[in-house]
Chain A
Amino acid sequence: MEQLRYSRVPELRGWRDVPIAGIVPWPGSTAENRMHAWRTFRPVIDPEKCVRCRLCWVYCPDGAIVELDKPYTTRSGRTYKVTYEVNYDYCKGCGICANECPVKAIRMVPEVR
């Protein structure tokens, strides 16, 4: 999978470490943030039921559904070229994917601590 490299922010100890004019020379650095604490329900994709329509990936506001070039063969013998997985680091648990899934292959499971 072509994955873009998001940069990381170095440790900023004091005002001397802050770039001049407060510019941010670290593109895509919010990828360091872990948003899992926002979640009360986690989406779980059932790869057997999933028909690979790509809608969960399209409608995800956080880019938390990842599309992998991983072939998958269901028990009924159908082979798909792609697999959808949830990146639980970024998923905020909004439930759009489960609501929009046309075959109801995504379940929202309560997070248990």
Chain B
Amino acid sequence: MALTRPVRTVWDIPREERFAPGHAMCQGCGAAIIMRHLMKVVGKDAIIVMATGCVEVTTTLFPRTSWLNPWLHLAFENAGAAASGVEAALKVLRRKGVIDGSRRVKVVAIAGDGGSFDIGLQSLSGMLERGHDVMFVVYDNEAYMNTGIQRSSATPYGAWTTTTPVGKRWRGEWRPKKDIIGIALAHRIPYVATANPAYPTDMVEKFRRAFEIEGPSLVHVLSPCTPGWRIPTEKTIEVARLAVQTGVWVLLEVVNGRPRVTVKVPRRKHVRHYLRLQGRFRHLTDEEIERIQKMVDQYVEEINRWVGEQAIGPVAE
């Protein structure tokens, strides 16, 4: 039974743990928080289709699994394709009367930033374009953390990774982050949202709506990674919250093309507060931070223009 009533406070989140503890995710992993709440929302009527990534390798060490739902292991590139196939099979089984037609079973595809931004992009695009009834959750830890912090196209400007090292010539990643929300919106899908584990009610409510909607939906969740972002294990939520408060991460919800900012920030902080907490941005000089601040300013301006109101305010320390 999936969650049906709207989530307004943390007390509306179901108590039932549908994501078994004892998995091998790192101490203070942001993805573990996301998966716990996702499974609370979708309940038992969901088939999980999962691309390779941190969560996949840490929750299913043979012969054990953390999942209580039917769960499909896949390669990096075919989460979208396999989710489409499972959804089509469900449709046929319903038509043939093998499974009860009144019972709603939805396919939930989960992929990291590698499995959706880079390697899985073509199958994700195909799935969205064909209009399968699949909820796609992207937990974005901004690099290939599972294999040892290699850059992906989700790595933000200036971040250190093992393949964008910091030295005399290279100053970390020099390309900006790919706009997956823009790519998803280009497919004209009914529901696209960004979420953040530091705002749990907002995140759970978005998962609920994405699950409820008929047709493809995509939820893009920021997932702080303690070893990859070089942050202390207890700062996961603090960093995620600062991403919203500085305007680096805007909590958006786009229903049928109508955008809305769900968590408004009237006075945002300087991006330095977010960057200085993380070891992957330790090499940045003040000028480089100002350059990143300019990029964030431009992004916030675009968002404000798009939603048609001053959702994210000016910088006020």
Q: Is B28 a contact of A96 with CB atoms below 8 Å? A: yes
Which of A4, A29, A55, A64 interacts with B65 by CB under 8 Å? A29
Tell me whether A58 and B10 are in contact in the complex, defined as CB-CB below 8 angstroms, given that A64-B21, A100-B237 are known contacts: yes
B residues 54-79 in Cβ contact with A at 8 Å: 59-69
The yes or no answer to A27 lying at the interface (CB within 8 A) is: yes
Give the distance to chain A from B8, nearest Cβ to Cβ, in Å.
Answer: 13
Per-position contact with A for B1-33: 1 when CB-CB < 8 Å, else 0?
000000000110101111111111101111011
Contact status B15-A67, CB under 8 Å? yes
Take A4-B16, A61-B25 as given contacts and tell me if A33 and B64 are in contact as well, using a CB distance cutoff of 8 Å: yes
* CB-contacts of A69-91 with B (<8 A): 87, 89-90
CA distance A32 to B27 in the complex (A): 18
- The answer on a CB contact under 8 Å between A96 and B22 is no
A84 to chain B, nearest CB (A): 12
* Chain A residues within an 8 Å CB radius of B290: none
Cα separation A6 to B233 with both chains bound (whole Å): 28
Q: Does residue A95 face the partner (Cβ distance < 8 Å to B)?
A: yes
A31 engages B22 (CB within 8 Å): yes
Q: Encode contact with A along B121-161: 1 for CB under 8 Å, 0 otherwise.
A: 00000000000000000000000000000000000000000
Q: Output the nearest chain A residue to B14 by Cβ-Cβ distance.
A: A2
Q: How far is the CA of A2 from the CA of B63 in the complex (A)?
A: 26
- Nearest Cβ distance between residue A8 and chain B, in whole angstroms? 10
Known: A22-B62, A28-B20. A59 touches B68 (CB 8 A): no
In the bound complex, do residue B234 and residue A94 qualify as a contact, i.e. CB atoms below 8 Å apart? yes
In the complex, B288 has a CB within 8 A of chain A = no
Q: How large is the interface on A (under 10, 10 to 19, 20 to 34, 35 or more residues)?
A: 35 or more
A12 on the B face (CB < 8 A): yes
Residues of A within 8 A of B279 (CB): none
* Interface secondary structure of A, over-half rule: loop
| Prevailing SS type, chain B contact patch | loop
Q: Which residues of A contact B36 (CB under 8 A)?
A: 60-61, 63
A13 to chain B, nearest CB (A): 12
B78 to chain A, nearest CB (A): 18
Show the binding face of A for B, using Cβ within 8 Å.
Answer: 1-2, 4, 6, 9, 12, 18, 22, 24, 26-35, 38, 53-55, 58-64, 67, 87, 89-90, 92-96, 98-100
10 nearest CB pairs, A to B: A95-B234, A94-B28, A61-B32, A33-B22, A28-B20, A94-B27, A30-B22, A90-B21, A99-B234, A94-B233
Q: Which residues in B have some Cβ–Cβ distance to A below 8 Å?
A: 10-11, 13, 15-25, 27-30, 32-33, 36-37, 59-69, 197, 200, 226, 232-238
Name 30 A/B residue pairs within 8 A (Cβ), A-sorted: A1-B15, A2-B16, A4-B68, A12-B63, A24-B62, A24-B65, A27-B67, A27-B68, A28-B20, A30-B21, A30-B22, A30-B65, A31-B22, A32-B22, A33-B64, A34-B22, A55-B10, A58-B10, A58-B37, A61-B27, A61-B33, A87-B21, A90-B21, A92-B27, A94-B28, A94-B234, A94-B236, A96-B237, A99-B237, A100-B238
